[in-house]
Structure 1
């Protein structure tokens, strides 16, 4: 089955379908063409993996979606409406949340403080809600995500494991009830148990109806959690595959530009 035919049969969440569509995305930095006419679709209730070698354009594409870098050309359609994303504020307003690889957590603060940092809820008199209510809300959110590894939401981030920190960063992004979640290398440098914890959390984001884009170099993780894989190579779209209808050899061939059929023939010669 060809990649196009496989995608035609791809699963969509009932009654939702495409939430974000980007067409003709191009971006240059001087003489360097970072993106060249890339199309991308993110669907509600689906995990899409963005893969490619270093320099393929993944970071540029994600930063364009997050409003950090403006595209030279490219059209956004979000929830069926043409729109513009020219700043991080635009992205957040359109329901796009981003968790970068560095997580941007404050290690000296506890989990509750990190979840609400910069977006502390206020009561009707313009004052901050009390700490007990913030703590209760934090516990409720983590319970909804089935996070059972945190002994206390009052634990300082400095005392948390890598997987727990990733969980806090994702939970913080959910405070604004996003429709799209961009995750940059969410399992990088994590152990086996912590990686499994984060992958399960990604599945729960999908089950909440969120369109999830995972940027990853780890194809093993991609095949465990993603519904589709979008491959970039030298700034251009090199392939789009339904995970259930492909294999790692085919994805690697798209990443490297190799002919997987000839490679398979050589392997079986």
Structure 2
């Protein structure tokens, strides 16, 4: 972790006592969560552990039944994803939400298009040249390798598409980037591209929160791992931990209270 967690470090995003139910099903029960500046934090857990529900709450897509969320120490309430985005939180879900027929620049500015100056801008005419120039500069700054920002998304590889989606979140989410299974269905080289991009995003000052079922990928980039099981937070793993410890927490074979130096109680 670039900015080490310490007693003096204040979480950039903090949730306390989060609970969420869907009818008779309890998805989350009294879950605490914290993410620190310039940190990659992973959410681990089997299917049904509550990971997706938690990130939907953190990104404003769902509202918790109980609990509070703080951003930079200030309590906030998100009534929808737009509220989260306006507070610097951007999310990439598995479907990426890219428009395949549009070029890369248009996708980066989708819904936030730059307009031409003067009368044409007031009439809604888009400034394609400015968007392509800024898109190219932004992608270069993140070391995302594409032939041109004029390429349509449907010509890109899976790793390049994921990189474009992540680059868009960084362009608009200045503080926090949330990624849902960012390397799912990617080949080895494409996944490596995305993992390196996540590290560059962190090194530029953002906090990265991500879900992944791919343990090697998690242990390659995560500065800290929060483990959920059946809707509860059951432990925190540090980089010195190993995959067996993670699996044991996820399955309930051991408790974080076992005293292992690489694991912390929730």
5+ long unaligned stretches in structure 2: 259-266
Asked if residue 131 in structure 1 is aligned to residue 124 in structure 2, the reply is no
5+ long unaligned stretches in structure 1: 1-6, 263-269
1:120–1:128 CA contact under 8 A, matched in 2: no
Please state how far the C-alpha of 1:99 moved relative to its aligned partner. Answer: 0.3
2:85–2:173 CA contact under 8 A, matched in 1: no
1:31-180 alignment runs, 5 A limit: 31-122=24-115, 125=118, 126=122, 127-128=124-125, 130-148=127-145, 150-180=146-176
Could you say what secondary structure the match of 2:172 adopts? coil
Question: Partners of 2:250 and 2:109 in 1: how far apart?
Answer: 39
- Equivalent in 13, 23, 34 of residue 30 of structure 1: 23
TM-score, with structure 2 as normaliser: 0.89
1:28-71 residue CA offsets vs partner (Å, 9 max, x unmatched): 00110000000000111000000100000011001101111110
1:249–1:260 CA contact under 8 A, matched in 2: no
Aligned in 2, Cα 1:124/1:202: closer, same or farther, shift over 3 Å?
Answer: same
Question: Partners of 1:130 and 1:31 in 2: how far apart?
Answer: 51
TM-score, with structure 1 as normaliser: 0.88
Count of aligned pairs: 251
Could you say what secondary structure the match of 1:86 adopts? coil
What's 1:206 paired with?
202
What's 2:180 paired with?
184
Please state how far the C-alpha of 1:214 moved relative to its aligned partner. Answer: 0.9
Query: RMSD of the alignment, in Å?
Result: 2.1
Question: Partners of 2:48 and 2:255 in 1: how far apart?
Answer: 22
